[in-house]
Amino acid sequence: MRSVLVTGAAGFIGGHVVETFLAAGWRVFALVHRRRSARLERLADRIGILEGDVAEPDSVWAVLAACRREAGAPPVVAHCAGRASDVGRDEEFRRANFESVVHLGEAVRRGEAERLVFVSTTDVYGILDQAGTDEDSTPLRAVPDNPYPRYKIRAEEWLRAHVPPESWSIIRPAAVWGADDPTMSARVVAFLRISPVIVHFGPWRGRNRWPLAQVRNVAAAVRLGAECPAARGLAINVLDSEWTSVDDFYRLLAQAYFPGKRYRTLYLPRWLGWPFAATVSGISNLLNLAHPCADPSAYALAVVSHNLDFANGRWLALMRQAGIEPVTREQGIAELTADSQA
């Protein structure tokens, strides 16, 4: 039985990745740092839960050695851990999103891990009006004043330069969503709970694409990155095929969590939101918060006012090859509705 070490296993994506590998018959080790999740506790008798810090090399070696002792062979590493936020201090992002990849990549080169599946992000393409851009022809663009995509780009470049391509895959999810999402969906739901108005900024007036990636689709992609020879040495965009606008997403969440509540729509020029957004980001960065103190932050304002449209053909081809049907938007909304009623 092959084994996998899932970093960031207590997180939203990581927890689903643990479940996906378990369902496929893998032996699963879940790496946690400061906390465990309810999902991991439910699975505790079926997985090995290890404590460690992927940004510390000694901790990485110790955790991988424990996996090898238990499984009898080096594990695949599904690297879901990282700092995923639009605010925070530079050194925190460097440590979590770049240095951790270097340590795990070195472990692969030394034979202490079988291969590395790195969860990156489509944010590496920058915040521009896009139209079906793909993994190979679209340049990576760092975003000024946001270390999150900058260090994801550096990590991808380091892997390509230092680790043989047959030993890694890069998974680039778009905006990950799903039931029990504590991040993006939670921020929108929190806004909808207190506001009678949906606000859209910029010339798109809410009709721009919001590139959703249902979390179970992302988890399936991570498993395919570990299993499929066709995924080796490649970056793979993961996003749902259904075209969902920013306004669509707000209203789908409103339908799931606040059925019957009516929302008016307000359109504002982008520049009008910048002073507030810049203040939110400045305070949040100063305090090194995990999430912005209010919405929108400067980065969030840029994201929701641009058309972020990426190609997903490589991921769909891998799914077809493996005989896996993607989770549809309709299925995802049904899960959100059930979650809201729980």
Structure tokens at 47: 């997985």
Confidence of residue 340 (pLDDT cuts 50, 70, 90): confident
Cβ contacts of 90 within 8 Å, gap of 6 or more? 147
Tell whether the model's pLDDT for residue 342 goes beyond 90. Answer: no
CA 224 distance to own-chain centroid: 16
**Coil, helix or strand at residue 128:** coil
**Per-domain residue ranges of the chain:** 3-179+211-242+308-327, 184-206+245-304
180: pLDDT confidence band, cut at 50, 70 and 90?
confident
Averaged pLDDT, 77-101: 95
Q: How many angstroms separate the Cα of 13 from the Cα of each of 17, 110, 191?
A: 6, 27, 23
Q: What is the pLDDT of residues 100-138, one digit of tens each?
A: 999 999 999 999 999 999 999 999 999 999 988 999 999
Tally the C-alpha atoms within 13 A of residue 341's C-alpha that lie toward its C-beta.
Answer: 9
Is the pLDDT confidence value at 10 over 90?
Answer: yes
- β-strands 168-173, 197-201 pairing: unpaired
**At residue 9, what is the residue type?**
A
At 146 the pLDDT is 87
Cis before residue 296, ω within 30 degrees of 0?
yes
Task: Classify domain 3-179+211-242+308-327 by CATH number.
Answer: 3.40.50.720
